Structure 1
Amino acid sequence: MADLSKLQSDLAKYEAARDAILGGQSYEVAGRKLTRANLREVEAAIERLEQRIEIAKAGGISSGSVVFGGWHGR
């Protein structure tokens, strides 16, 4: 898992990309320059990064607290 500072750095880059899209500009993320705006993709990446940052701030995910499909196996 990426460390908190890396996640926050990536989030700042994606937020700048979103701002560029909204301003009608091209943008660059991770060495990839895009001129055709894909706001949906950038906003989805922002949401994922925000979730990962919250998880990192909370100390990660405990496998004992994850329940898939609501079934506890009992």
Structure 2
Amino acid sequence: MSTSSASSQCSAGAGAIGWWQRQCWIERDPTIGIERRPTPPDRSTDSATALSPTTPKAAPPPRCC
């Protein structure tokens, strides 16, 4: 799961938890102590991992039939 997806789900969960508390369905936030995932570093500009036009592409998998 990507960081942005996880953050979106955490935000939705926080909203639901607040509503449940207002409805007196729960007394406290059960997610206290859970931290958000840190955003991973942007590797799209990393020259070590970026593909150049001369980088050979992977060979297609062998056909089975």
Fold match (TM-score > 0.5):
no
Q: TM-score, normalised by structure 1?
A: 0.39
Greater CA radius of gyration, 1 or 2? Answer: 2
Report the structure, 1 or 2, having the larger strand content: 1
Report the structure, 1 or 2, having the larger helix content: 1
Q: TM-score, normalised by structure 2?
A: 0.43
